[in-house]
Amino acid sequence: MTEDLLSAARAVRENAHAPYSRFKVGAALRSTEGNLHRGCNVENVAYPEGTCAEAGAIAAMVAAGDKRIAAIAVIADCPAPVPPCGGCRQKLAEFADGTVPVTLATTDGQVLETTVADLLPGAFDAGHMDRA
């Protein structure tokens, strides 16, 4: 299952709009419904108004009617597997429990397997909103 996510992330990465940083990122996730959703980073000259690849994949998932992430892969051309930014870690935690696998990869084949909880320990969640 990880290979199909990495393959989808690698393919969508090519569509990234990164004329300023030239740092293309692709993300692909599988929803708990079994559907594949992809996203790539989209930069804007008015930093930081761009969109991260992970956020794009999550938006595609929600737009398609799915609500939960079962697994996600993120790929970039860099020296080591690239982790999601802090904001995307929180976005992942919104739609995935802590055990959800996260595959981080480089275009030259390095892979790091982790989980949402390892990326964002002590995540802020809906339980923090309870005022009982």
Could you write out the DSSP letters of every residue in 80-110?
A: SPPPPPHHHHHHHHHHS-TT-EEEEEETTS-
Q: Is 45 annotated as a binding residue?
A: yes
Name the residue ranges covered by the structural domains of the chain: 2-129
- For residue 14, indicate whether it is catalytic: no
User: For residues 29 and 53, is the Cβ–Cβ distance under 8 A?
Assistant: no
Mean pLDDT along residues 4-12: 97
Question: What pLDDT, on the 0 to 100 scale, is given for residue 125?
Answer: 84
User: For residues 104 and 37, is the Cβ–Cβ distance under 8 A?
Assistant: no
In the CATH scheme, what architecture does the domain 2-129 have? 3-Layer(aba) Sandwich (3.40)
Choose, from 14, 33, 49, 54, the residue flagged as catalytic. Answer: 54
Q: Is 46 annotated as a binding residue?
A: yes
Q: In what order do the strands lie in the sheet with 101-106?
A: 36-40, 25-31, 69-76, 101-106, 111-115
Residue 127 has pLDDT above 90, yes or no: no
Q: Is 126 annotated as a binding residue?
A: no
Residues 46-102 have pLDDT tens digits of 988 999 999 999 999 999 999 999 999 999 999 999 999 999 999 999 999 999 999
Question: What pLDDT, on the 0 to 100 scale, is given for residue 5?
Answer: 97
Residue 123 has pLDDT above 90, yes or no: no
C-alpha dihedral, 42 to 43 to 44 to 50, nearest 10°: 70
Q: Is 85 annotated as a binding residue?
A: yes
